[in-house]
Structure 1
Amino acid sequence: MNAANPSASAIVLFGHGARDPEWAGPMRRIRDAALARPGAPRVELAFLEFMSPTLPEAIAALAAEGAHKVAVVPIFLAQGGHLKRDLPVLLEEARAAHPGCEITLATAAGEADPVVAAMADYALGCLG
């Protein structure tokens, strides 16, 4: 976190969204766990559809509050159609709308090696 401006950097956890508000529970838990870490930056949620805020809304709010760097972290298992087709368009539009804000894209969470290892450990532990 930037000590001079705590809102200068932020993470947006980006999910698909669902009609059932309880669907976002795990994403809220990820956000809360990240925020509990010492020196954590601002962490927000954003959704492709059905839930608010949308990714453009979340990035616009962060940029308006002075964020200069935003990392978008897709909370998806894999790079499917939404991440290949929809997300690049949303990011291009956000970058054009907020040229003073560096917007980066992380790999889908489910494709990150530490996440794969954690899921394998979980699966192996399910036998008791």
Structure 2
Amino acid sequence: MSDVAVILFGHGARDPGWAGPMKRIREHMLAQPGAPRVELAFLEFMQPTLADAIAALAGAGMRRIAIVPVFLAQNGHLKRDLPVLLDAARAAHPECEITLAVAAGEAEGVIAAMAEYARSCAA
């Protein structure tokens, strides 16, 4: 997986602690055998931007980049802003296959894990 990367893409916030869960997701991923390169990127308020993260990965020789939105739902930012950012990144880096996953909160496994967590809170 030397030319494969994942970008965990979040909204961003003025409080740097907001990125803590995304950093922990990254650390968990990197602890797994055969992990791809994993980076964080943000829509606003935090660095790097998605464009900067993709440019850095492309410059490092990554040829497949999967964008994983760490959002609860397919909201307005993912419907309006992200397609524009991806079009620009794909035009700037035609040597890279840049794919987009569904928002993390829409994935069945994540929904099941959140439901189990909520159930455990009642125990």
TM-score bracket relative to the smaller structure: over 0.9
From 17, 27, 30, the equivalent of 2:25 is: 30
Instruction: Determine the structure 2 residue equivalent to 1:74.
Output: 69
Measured against aligned partners, the alpha-carbon deviations of 1:42-97 in whole angstroms (never above 9, x if no partner) come to: 00000000000000000000000100000000000000100000000000000000
Instruction: Determine the structure 1 residue equivalent to 2:79.
Output: 84
Q: Which runs of 4+ in 1 moved over 2 A?
A: none
| Structure 1 segments unaligned to the other structure (5+ residues) | none
1:37 Cα deviation from its structure 2 partner: 0.4
1:56-71 pair list within 5 angstroms: 56-71=51-66
Please say if 1:19 is aligned against 2:29: no
Q: One-letter code of the match for 2:90? A: R
- SS at the partner of 1:14? strand
Report the Cα distance in structure 2 between the residues aligned to 1:115 and 1:79, rounded to whole angstroms: 14
Report the Cα distance in structure 1 between the residues aligned to 2:78 and 2:60, rounded to whole angstroms: 26
Taking only aligned residues, the RMSD between alpha carbons, in angstroms, comes to 0.4
From 88, 94, 100, the equivalent of 2:89 is: 94
Please say if 1:10 is aligned against 2:15: no
Aligned length: 123
Report the Cα distance in structure 1 between the residues aligned to 2:53 and 2:62, rounded to whole angstroms: 11
With normalisation by structure 2, the TM-score equals: 0.99
Percentage identity across paired residues of the two chains: 72
Measured against aligned partners, the alpha-carbon deviations of 1:17-41 in whole angstroms (never above 9, x if no partner) come to: 0000000000000000000000000
